[in-house]
Amino acid sequence: MNAIILTGSIATGKSTVASLLKLYGYTIISADEVAHKLLEKYSNEIKDMFGTSERKELGKIVFNNESKRKQLESFLHPKIKQEILKESEKLEEYGVPYFLDIPLYFETGNYNEFKNVVVVYTPKDIQIQRLAKRNNISLDEAKKLVNLQIDIEEKKDKANYIIDNSKDLKHLQKEVEKFINQLKS
């Protein structure tokens, strides 16, 4: 009831927004952090499936092979969701808004019980430039990574709230403050 999905796409600034929300005192449940714990917990099973459980190596395998990516997702996503739901139940007792940082919210279609969605939005061209710079990769590689996810414009259309991150950090802070004020009213 009090959960708000925080999502976006790669290099839209979702992690920065999550950090800002934490500074305002909000609790964030991060699907990525849950996934990292589960990768450790199930490292033997993952190693049996893919020959490695090391995150960077695993990333290379699933990035280049859609069936391997789907195999990993079908193994991990239900476990991630179970953990998120468990943590959400605890937070619901407090009766205050909290955030579920789920990068692949729209892609998985796994969290339909949560209705409030805020999308951190950056136009696709800026997204690609930021990703190339951040990951020190070519624009072509960045574009391929961005295209693995649902288009940011489509996510923007499906959101209840939008936080615009098309400019600088000062602008983003104002956008987050505006969003928090909307939330309070």
pLDDT higher than threshold 90 for residue 81:
yes
Degrees (nearest 5) of the Cα angle 157, 123, 58?
A: 95
pLDDT higher than threshold 90 for residue 46:
yes
Q: Where residue 185 falls among pLDDT bands split at 50, 70, 90?
A: confident
Integer CA distances (angstroms), 111 to 6, 10, 53, 108, 169, in order: 12, 19, 26, 8, 30
Tokens of 55: 């995150």
pTM of the model: 0.91
Tell me the per-residue pLDDT of 89-113, one tens digit each, with 9 for 90 and over.
Answer: 999 999 999 999 999 899 888 898 8
**Largest Cα–Cα distance in the chain?**
51
DSSP label at residue 165: -
Q: Is-contact 79 38, C-beta < 8 A?
A: yes
